[in-house]
Structure 1
Amino acid sequence: MGATALADAIARIENRYGMRAVVRGDVAERQDDERRIRTGGSLDRVTGGGIRAGEPLAFIGPATAGKLSLALSVAAAAQREGGMAAWIDASASFDPLAALRAGIDLDRL
């Protein structure tokens, strides 16, 4: 991919998802004042200290990859920290019992 094509692709991504949607790995910096949702697991390590609060999040992958478990963990962690979580269930497969077991307050979801 040429430099112009890459710049165009980055511009389209930033227009759709925001200015910080694409950052270079060697210069990516996290502002200390950003609130992070900490799950207490390895997800915190790979995301640089937790999921950034206030931004949409989607887990994508093959069936049985653990997407639901991760999403429930993040939503429960957000609620534990006094935050809010919204659940968009495009596949109509939300399992309230699994959410309760993960520690989610369904009245606040």
Structure 2
Amino acid sequence: MAAPKDREKALETALSQIDRHFGKGSVMRLGSEERAPVDIIPTGSIALDAALGIGGLPRGRVVEIYGPESSGKTTVALHAIANVQRQGGIAAFIDA
């Protein structure tokens, strides 16, 4: 087994290579307070937006909404799409 200092150095080397390739902040350590600013799209539900922690769904990311039948998944998705369109954006709804 490698010495702890060797493992730590190897980890730092790998993280610095990832930062160089993908940009600073692409890897975060658990518990760090740094957060990249993310534009959000409101879901149309104040309670859900609060529960998500950032005030809605992240803009420019793929979001999967899942749950049991008749739980409101389609309603939430269509409200979020309507909010995207109000802001001049484009969104897709895929029901698979």
Give the structure-2-normalised TM-score.
0.58
| 1: CA distance, partners of 2:70 / 2:33 | 31
- Residue 43 in 1 paired to residue 73 in 2? no
Unpaired runs of at least 5, structure 1 = 1-18, 91-109
**Partner of 2:89 in structure 1?**
83
User: In the comparison of the two structures, how many residue pairs are matched?
Assistant: 69
Deviation at 1:84, TM superposition (A): 1.0
1:70 alignment partner AA: V
Question: Among the aligned pairs, what percent are the same residue?
Answer: 38
Unpaired runs of at least 5, structure 2 = 1-25
Moved over 6 A (4+): none
Q: 1:27 to 1:67 in 2, by over 3 A?
A: farther
Deviation at 1:88, TM superposition (A): 1.4
Deviation at 1:60, TM superposition (A): 0.8
Q: 1:64 to 1:29 in 2, by over 3 A?
A: farther
Deviation at 1:29, TM superposition (A): 5.2
